[in-house]
A and B are shown apart, each in its own frame.
Chain A
Amino acid sequence: MSDENDGPETDGPAPEERATVEPAGNGPGRGHWARITGAEGDWRSLVLVPVLAVFTALVIGAIIIAVSDIELLGLWGEDAGEAFRQTLARIGDAYGGLFTGAFGSVRGISETLTWATPLILAGLSVAIGFRAGLFNIGAEGQMLMGGMLALVVGFQLNLTIWLHLPLALLGGFIGGAIWGGIPGWLRARTGAHEVITTIMFNWIAIRFVDYALKTPFIQREGRPDRISKDVLESARLPKLLEWIDPQLRLNAGIIVALLAAWAVYWLLFRSTVGFEFRAVGANPDGAKYAGMNVTRSYIMVMAVAGGLGGLAGSTQILGVLGNATPGFSANLGFDAIALALLGRSHPFGVVLAGILFGALRAGGQQMQVASDVGIDLILVIQALIVVFIAAPELIRAIFRVKAVKGAEQITRGWAT
């Protein structure tokens, strides 16, 4: 706390926001929209900047597509017109594939929402941390640990689906909550920064899953490689669109994700606990002065965030995969950081951002088929989106949008 006399106070949001303990959203003088949703800022920073960020990222992605084909680059010297035409065709094929793969058919929409499910849950995990001033980089590890516990409940117990599935999901929540709660506890009790501890916890979880998948209790019988037993049918999240086509993978996980988004919204903006979370996030010293228990808040925030991450892993295990292999979290926990920023750390924003990122994942596969532009381009686009979201001044400079709020600081440095 000794460093509080310089640094954070001199920058960031306007002084009047800093001065009050009351978090944004409930204060007087804010718009109707803000009061309903608890969202900060005006429509420019809520809608315009994210849209322009996505647009700009796609444009830069198109440039990368254009310059990453060696034969096409050679053609520019011989026949510039033809090269231009082919380049446009290549970009068109790629983005056309991206769009049809994501939204062009029932299958596409199903895939988009299937990917969106864990993304939304993991995004909520990161977002709830942001709201409380904690940077949860550990969604990946929480997904893994939660998913593993859900897996064990899923294959070990033998119950009716009405009991088994909720228990498996609860197991996933608890597994993640423990994995997130320990860094929260360490932060509260020892000051160990959650960014460092959650990064380390991610890797511990990755290695642990590698190990666990080789133990006789979890490894599938008769298999030498790392693959788990199958989750019993009674713990699987039911498929939702089987009546159209049995191939469609969309499952009840999306309902879990939407319910979780609503629950997080209620927790953050309608409950006393959530008020404390946000107060601690806005100004921990002020919250302490106002009589709130900051230590308890840190632990609870990280436990809830971890639980949501755990749910994200569980929906992967119980819904899409049915068993665990190394890396079943598919880096979704890292995408979640980008997603929470894009969604402005608001539950409803996270849902929209989750659907967008789900569309990128689902469409990326179609893009690869339609135009042999590799799916890894999606990562580049996501990274660029975050750059423009995190540095809105870049958007202001490119598009001459007025009155965009400057960059936000979430972490207060490691030297606390």
Chain B
Amino acid sequence: MTAGTATVPRVLRSPAEIRRSRIIGIVYLLLAAFVLIVFAVGTEGDATFRLATPDDRFQLPDLMLSAAGLSYTVAAFLAFLGGVQLTRGFGKSTNVILGLAMALVAFAFLGWAAAGKSFSLVGMLQLTVVKSVPITFGALSGVMCERVAVINIGIEGMLLSGAFMGALIGSLAGPWMGILAGVLVGGLLAFVLAVLAIRYRVDQIIAGVVINIFALGITSYLTSSILVENSDTLNQVAIFRAWKVPLLGDIPFIGPIFFNHNFFVYAMYVLVGVIAFALFKTRWGLRSRAVGEHPKAADTLGINVFRFRYLNVILGGMIAGFGGAYFTVGSAGAFDENMTSGRGFIGLAAMIFGRWHPVGALGAALVFGFSDSLQAKLGILQTPIPGEFLLMAPYIVTVIVVAGIVGRARPPAADGQPYVKE
């Protein structure tokens, strides 16, 4: 023990970090054992992964792997990672390695599930991106609000209202107006949240809960009283078709996964980039973060704390409303009661898992989207694993992250606290 600490004088590590590092090392070893026992031993046959969709320009050949061989390799590699983690550690790249390890486990799982069958890997990853769209918008909405220290539990309600308005106005005036209406209603609900949280200093969790209950109530009420009787005229919206990006869409494997989608997916990429840039490279972003970390200091320096909070919360609501419109204008074509079914809360989870960073939020949403699409495809592969556990994964991961067992998520310092000007 003493020798170990003597040889790593480069970085001083806190006991919590050392403990965390050990836990991750043990997790690697456990995963290796798990992969070995469950996926490798006794598995027979080759797994065939299809890497191209039929309408791709460049047809990649199918990838044939021995399922058992794949799992043995992954298990050995995981054991190696665990050994390194426990003895030397990975330093700054710990999280990247952790992500890689998880991806390998997922791959070994797919190999095991698809043993002796053919499975469209590209199709599943394409679905992953699609499933992550509303989650990402919800998470971005949360990032916008919480970076200025307003907790937004009402993401779910904003998504739901956006979906409703997308269907209603989209049916009356076309899909673009539907999106606009979704954005506006999201902004309106966020304005209510902002007034309650900033002006009246209502507990922000309560304000968010109220928005969720209200949105569920009013959309369900209006659906049964207006939409159901007039579903042809009021609840039937033209949905956006997929559009393949020239050149990028033709890249083998990557192209169909990321660049053959509809408008909302591209909007998601752009928005993630814009918000990441704006938050960390512009004056507005610096001021927003200052308001979230230490409003009193920001105020002292002449930043209008209230204005920043109002503005960013409303922008956040508009993003959630836009993401909500995806459900109807971008996907289903009609509104259904409570059709978001908890995506807003997964968005909240993605925001936390992504550590309040737009790019992190996108990454987290893709991970959660992966477990969602995996669940959707499991039925085809007829595995004995119940899909419900895959649907649970985002929530369990989030609990693990906030508990700091593997990694620590640190919210903005003033998150959730009302600001009183003196």
Bitwise, A186-228 to B at CB < 8 A (1) or not (0) is: 1000111101110111011011101100100000000000000
Of the listed stretches A171-179, A231-239, A403-411, chain B binds A403-411
Whether B418 is near chain A, meaning CB under 8 Å from some CB there, is yes
Q: Are A210 and B388 in contact (CB under 8 A)?
A: yes
B214 contacts A383, C-beta separation under 8 Å: yes
Contact of B222 with A by CB under 8 A: yes
Q: Are B395 and A201 in contact (CB under 8 A)?
A: yes
Q: Does A17 contact B (CB under 8 A)?
A: no
9-residue interface stretch from B70-78, B236-244, B400-408: B400-408
Residue of B nearest to A10 (CB): B420
Contact B296–A69 (Cβ < 8 Å): no
Least Cβ distance of A176 to chain B in Å? 18
Contact A411 B204 (CB under 8 A): yes
A376:B224 contact, CB within 8 angstroms:
yes
The answer to whether B97 has its CB under 8 Å from any CB of chain A is: no
Nearest CB of A to B185, in Å: 15
Q: A64 CA to B225 CA in the complex, in Å?
A: 11
Bound Cα distance A390, B221 (Å): 24
Instruction: Give the shortest distance, in Å, between B300 (CB) and chain A (any CB).
Output: 11
Kindly provide the distance from the CB of B251 to the nearest chain A CB, expressed in whole angstroms.
Answer: 36
Query: Is A338 an interface residue when CB atoms closer than 8 A count as contact?
Result: yes
Are A376 and B221 in touch, CB under 8 angstroms? yes
Contact A380 B200 (CB under 8 A): no
A residues 357-376 with Cβ under 8 Å of B? 372-374, 376
B275 interface residue, CB < 8 Å from A?
no
* Contacting residues, chain A, for B225 (C-beta < 8 A): 68-69, 372-374
A353 at the B interface (CB under 8 A): no
Measured between alpha carbons, how far is A197 from B203 in the docked complex, in Å? 18
Scan residues 363-422 of chain B and give those whose CB is less than 8 A from a CB of chain A: 386, 388-389, 391-392, 395-396, 398-399, 402-405, 410-420, 422
A195 to B349 alpha-carbon distance, docked (Å): 12
Q: Which one of A200, A334, A380, A409 contacts B395 once the chains associate, using CB atoms below 8 Å?
A: A200
Task: Indicate if the CB atoms of A8 and B417 lie closer than 8 Å.
Answer: yes
Which B residues are CB-close (under 8 A) to A2? 413
Contact (A393, B200) CB under 8 Å given A387-B210, A410-B206: yes
Residue of A nearest to B212 (CB): A334
Closest to A393 in B: B200
Say whether B415 contacts A415, CB under 8 Å.
yes
A410 touches B201 (CB 8 A): no
Whole-angstrom CA separation of A381 from B221 in the bound complex:
11
Chain B interface helix/strand/loop/mixed: helix
Give the complex CA separation of A215 and B418 in angstroms: 47
Interface string of B149-191 (1 = CB under 8 A from A): 1010100000000000000000000000000000000000000
**Counting CB contacts under 8 A, is A303 at the interface?**
no
Output the residue of B210, B352, B415, B422 with the most chain A CB within 10 A.
Answer: B210
Which residues from chain B contact A409 at a C-beta distance below 8 Å?
A: 201, 203, 417-418
- Inter-chain contact A383/B413, CB cutoff 8 Å: no
The complex places the Cα of A201 from the Cα of B349 at a distance, in Å, of 12
* B420 in contact with A380 (CB, 8 Å): no
In this assembly, does A6 line the interface, its C-beta being within 8 Å of a C-beta of chain B?
A: yes
A190-B403, A197-B399 known; A383 vs B414 contact (CB < 8 Å): no
> Cα distance A374–B226 when bound, in Å?
10
**Distance (Å) between the CB of A38 and the closest chain B CB?**
21
Q: Which of B124-164 contact A (CB under 8 A)?
A: 146, 149, 151, 153
B207, B213, B414, B422: most-surrounded residue (chain A CB, <10 A): B213
Which among B342, B398, B399, B411 has the highest number of chain A CB atoms within 10 Å? Answer: B399
Cβ of B22 under 8 Å from chain A: no
Q: Are A70 and B226 in contact (CB under 8 A)?
A: yes
Q: How many residues of A contact B (CB 8 A)?
A: 65
With A192-B403, A211-B386 already in contact, the answer to whether A203 and B415 are too (CB < 8 A) is no
B331 within 8 A of A: no
Q: With a CB–CB cut-off of 8 A, which chain A residues contact B151?
A: 411, 413-414
Q: Which partner residue on chain A sits nearest B206 by CB separation?
A: A390
Q: Please name the residue on chain B nearest to A334 by beta carbon.
A: B213
Q: Does B35 contact A (CB under 8 A)?
A: no
B209 within 8 Å of A (CB atoms): yes
Task: Name the CB-closest residue of B to A135.
Answer: B205
A315-365 contacts to B, CB under 8 A, are: 334-335, 337-338, 341
Which chain B residue lies CB-closest to A191?
B404
How far apart are B207's CB and chain A's nearest CB, in angstroms?
Answer: 7
Chain A residues near B210: list those with CB within 8 A.
338, 383, 386-387, 390
Once the chains are docked, how many angstroms separate the CA of A135 from the CA of B153?
13
Question: Does residue B258 face the partner (Cβ distance < 8 Å to A)?
Answer: no
Taking the closest CB of chain B, its distance from the CB of A179, in whole angstroms, is 12
Confirm or deny: A110 has a beta carbon within 8 angstroms of a beta carbon on chain B.
no
For the complex, is A280 an interface residue (Cβ under 8 Å from B)? no
B218 in the interface, Cβ–Cβ < 8 Å? yes
Instruction: Name the residue of chain A whose CB is nearest to the CB of B412.
Output: A415
Is B102 at the interface (CB under 8 A from chain A)? no
Contact A338:B213 (CB < 8 A) given known A410-B203, A412-B417: yes
Beta-carbon contact of B416 and A414 below 8 Å: yes
By a CB distance below 8 angstroms, the chain B residues around A207 are 388-389, 391-392, 395
Give, as a whole number of angstroms, the nearest-CB distance from A132 to chain B: 15
Interface contact A64-B221, CB-CB below 8 Å? yes
Residues of A within 8 Å of B402, CB to CB, are: 186, 190, 192-193, 196-197
Question: Is A283 among interface residues, defined by CB-CB distance under 8 A?
Answer: no
Q: Which residue of B lies closest to A70 (CB)?
A: B226
Q: Closest CB of chain A to B43's CB: distance in Å?
A: 24
Across the interface, do A137 and B416 meet the contact criterion of CB distance under 8 Å? no
Interface presence of A16 (CB below 8 A): no
A378 touches B403 (CB 8 A): no
A-B contact pairs, 9 of them (CB 8 A): A197-B402, A204-B395, A211-B388, A374-B225, A390-B207, A410-B206, A413-B415, A415-B410, A415-B414
In the A-B complex, list the 7 residue pairs whose CB atoms are closest, starting with the nearest. A379-B217, A413-B416, A383-B214, A211-B388, A376-B220, A7-B417, A380-B217
Spell out A's residues near B (CB within 8 Å): 2-3, 6-8, 10-11, 64, 68-70, 135, 137, 186, 190-193, 195-197, 199-201, 203-204, 206-208, 210-211, 214, 334-335, 337-338, 341, 372-374, 376-384, 386-387, 390-391, 393-394, 406-415
Beyond the given A200-B398, A204-B399, could you list 10 further A-B residue pairs with CB under 8 A, ordered by the A residue number? A68-B226, A137-B209, A190-B403, A199-B345, A201-B395, A203-B392, A211-B386, A376-B217, A380-B221, A390-B203
